[in-house]
Chains A and B, each alone.
Chain A
Amino acid sequence: MSTLQFEDVSLRFAGGERPAVNRVTCQVNSGEIVVILGPSGCGKTTLLKMVNRLYEPTEGAIFLDGVNIRQRAATQLRQQIGYVIQQSGLFPHMTVADNVAVVPRLLGWPKPQIQARIDELLALVRLPPGEFRDRYPAQLSGGQQQRVGIARALAGNPGIMLMDEPFGAIDAITRTALQDEILRLQGQLKKTILFVSHDVEEALRLADRILVMRLGEVVQFDTPFNLLTQPADDFVYTLLGADDMVRQLGLLRVASAMMALPPNYSNGHNPTLSHCDSLRDALSLILRTGAPALTVLKEGDPVGLLTLDHIRQSAVVREGSPQ
C-alpha cells in the first residue's frame, strides 16, 4: 500500500496553448481506489502518466510514500508501480506466463519464485494456469487479455496500481464482470489504485473517491455520494447525470440514506434488505410490498430503517443542486 501526493502539479506540452494538467494538488490515501473522471482531453491520462514518470511535470512535485518520485530512477520506480492500459499492451510474442513474468524477471527474482508467482496471479484473476499459461495473447478474448494485463501489473507486488481506462474497449457485460473483479481483488490485496475512466457508472461503482477533472484542473474530489448530493457546480452535476433520478438511486447504497435503528425498535414485519443494496432496490421493494419501512441488515443483524421519505430526501438534496 502506498500514499500518493500531488503538489501543485502542472504539465504544459510543448506548443500546447494551455496546460494539459493545471495546478493539481491532492492526496490519495493508502488502499484507496480513486477514479479520475472527466471528458476526453481533460488531462486524465497526462496526470496518470506523471506518476510513473512517463511524463515529467513542468511544475510541482509528486510524492509516493512521502518521497519525491524524481529522486528515484525512472525504471526502478516503474517496476514498483503496476500499470494497466486500455489496449492491454500485452507482448504478442510472449506467452501469458512470460508476460506475467516480465517485472519479476526485471527485478531478478529466482526462477522457482517467478514460476510460483505466475500460477498464483493467474489463479487470482481466474484464468486457470494449466489452461492459460502457455497461450499467446492472440489466443485470448479481450476480457481475458485485460485479466492477464492486471495479473502482469500485479506481478512485482506493487503498492500502487495505475489503470488507464483498462476496460474502455470491452463490451458492457464483460466490463461489469471485470469491475466486480477489481473490487474483489481490492478486497483481498488492498492496493492503492488510480483508475482513469470516462464512464460515470464505472466511476461510481469502483471509486472510494472520484477526482473530477475539467480542462486540466480538478473540479471536485470527493466520495460518490457527496458528488451526487453536493456537486461543486453545474459541470459536475451534468457530468454525473445527477438529473437521472432512477439511475442515480441505483448507484447509491442503502447505507448512505437509512436512519439508525430507533431505541424502541422491534423487528416487526418489515421486509429486509442488505446495507449494500442500492436505493433503487429499496424503492422497488417498497413499491412491491407496500411496506411503510424496510429493515436494513448488515451481516444478518438489523442496523437501520429505511422509508420512502429517506429515499425521497436523497433525491431532493440533488434537486436543490445548482442548475
Chain B
Amino acid sequence: MSYLISHPGDVLTLLLQHLRMTGIALGVAIALSVPLALLVTRLRWLAVPVLGGLGVLYTIPSLALIIFLVPLFGLNATSVIVAMVLYTQVILVRNLTVGLAGINPAVLEAARGMGMTVAQRWWRVQVPLVLPVFLAGVRIAAVVAIAIATIGAKFNAGGLGKLLFDGIQTNRYDKIVAGSMAVAALALTINGLLLALEYYAQPQRRWQKET
C-alpha cells in the first residue's frame, strides 16, 4: 500500500502498459472471434474441431504458451499479446456461437417473414439478442487477459506484473503487495464495468430486476 502512495507515477505507467496490452489483445481477439463464430455457426461441422482446438489451447499453461511464442514474435509485448488473443478465443467464440444458436428460431422466422433483409436481421435482431451473452464472454476474457498480462513482465512486456517480479527478486514486500493489489483492483474494476455494460445491453432483463 505504501508503495502505491509513494510511487504513484511509476504505478500509473505500469498500469497503463497493462491496460494497453489487455486492450490490444481484447480488441484483436474480438475482431477475430466474430468471423470465426459466424463461420462455425454457418458450417456446423466446424464447431467440434474449432472449439475443440481452441479448448486444447486453453489448457496449455500461459507461461509455456508465451515461451513457445517468443521465437516467433520476440521477447516483447507482442508474444504476450498473441498468447492473450489465443487464450481468450475459446471463451469469445464459444459464447458467441452458443448465443447465436440460442436465439429462438421463431423470432428469426418472424423477422424474415416481416420482410427484414439479412443485414436488418443481423443488426436489429441477432446482434441485440446475442450481445449480453457475448459481453459476458468479453468480461471473462478480460479478466483472463489481465491475469496473463501480469506474467508479461517476465517477457519484457512491462505491466503491473513488473512490480510483483521485481519485488520477488529484490525482496521488496511493499512492491509485491502493491502489485497484487493493483492487479486485483484492475480486474475487479474491468469486471464491474463490463458487468454494467452487460446489464444495459439487456433492457428486457433490466425491467425484471427493477420489479
Residues of chain A touching chain B, judged by Cβ–Cβ distance below 8 Å, are: 52, 54, 74-80, 83, 85-93, 95, 102-103, 106, 136-139, 152, 162
Contact = CB atoms under 8 A, between A and B. Distances in A.
Interface residues of B, number: 21
Contacts of B115: 74-80, 103, 106
Interface stretch (B45-53, B73-81, B201-209): B201-209
Contact of A89 (B110, B116, B128): B110
B40 to A, nearest CB: 23
19 contacts: A52-B113, A75-B117, A78-B113, A83-B114, A87-B104, A88-B106, A89-B106, A89-B110, A89-B111, A92-B107, A93-B128, A93-B203, A102-B116, A103-B114, A103-B115, A106-B120, A136-B207, A137-B204, A162-B113
Q: Is the interface of B mostly helix, strand, loop or mixed?
A: helix
B125 interface: yes
Nearest to B113: A83
Interface in B93-124: 104, 106-107, 109-117, 120
Contacts of B208: 138
Contacts of B202: 93
Nearest to B112: A54
B204 A138 contact: yes
Contacts of B110: 83, 85, 88-91
A54 B113 contact: yes
A89 B125 CA distance: 11
B177 interface: no
A89 B204 contact: no
Interface in B26-84: none
A157 B128 CA distance: 27
- Residue picked from A75, A88, A162, most chain B C-beta under 10 Å: A75
Contacts, number: 69
B116 A106 contact: yes
A75 B111 CA distance: 10
Contacts of B203: 93, 95, 136
Nearest to B204: A136
Contact of B113 (A85, A88, A92): A85
A91 B106 CA distance: 9
B129 interface: yes
Contacts of B109: 54, 85, 89
Interface of B: 104, 106-107, 109-117, 120, 125, 128-129, 202-204, 207-208
A85 B106 contact: yes
Given A83-B114, A103-B115, A106-B120, 10 more contacts: A80-B115, A85-B106, A85-B113, A89-B104, A89-B109, A89-B111, A91-B111, A136-B204, A139-B207, A162-B113
A90 B208 CA distance: 17
Contacts of B204: 92-93, 136-138
Contacts of A92: 104, 107, 129, 204
Q: Is the interface of A mostly helix, strand, loop or mixed?
A: mixed
- Residue picked from B104, B110, B111, B208, most chain A C-beta under 10 Å: B110
Contacts of B111: 89, 91
A89 B120 CA distance: 16
A89 B107 CA distance: 4
B104 A102 contact: no
A130 to B, nearest CB: 17
A77 B115 CA distance: 7
A87 B129 CA distance: 17
A11 B106 CA distance: 22
B114 A78 contact: yes
B146 to A, nearest CB: 30
Contacts of B129: 92-93
A75 B107 contact: no
B112 A87 contact: no
A313 B106 CA distance: 46
B134 to A, nearest CB: 14
Nearest to A88: B106
A80 B113 CA distance: 10
B113 A91 contact: no
Nearest to B127: A93
Nearest to A152: B114
A91 B207 contact: no
A162 B109 CA distance: 13
A79 B106 contact: no
B108 to A, nearest CB: 8
6 smallest A-B Cβ distances: which pairs?
Answer: A89-B110, A78-B115, A79-B115, A83-B113, A87-B106, A89-B106
Contact of A102 (B106, B114, B128, B207): B114
- Residue picked from B104, B110, B115, most chain A C-beta under 10 Å: B115
Contacts of B107: 89-92
A75 B116 contact: yes
B59 to A, nearest CB: 35
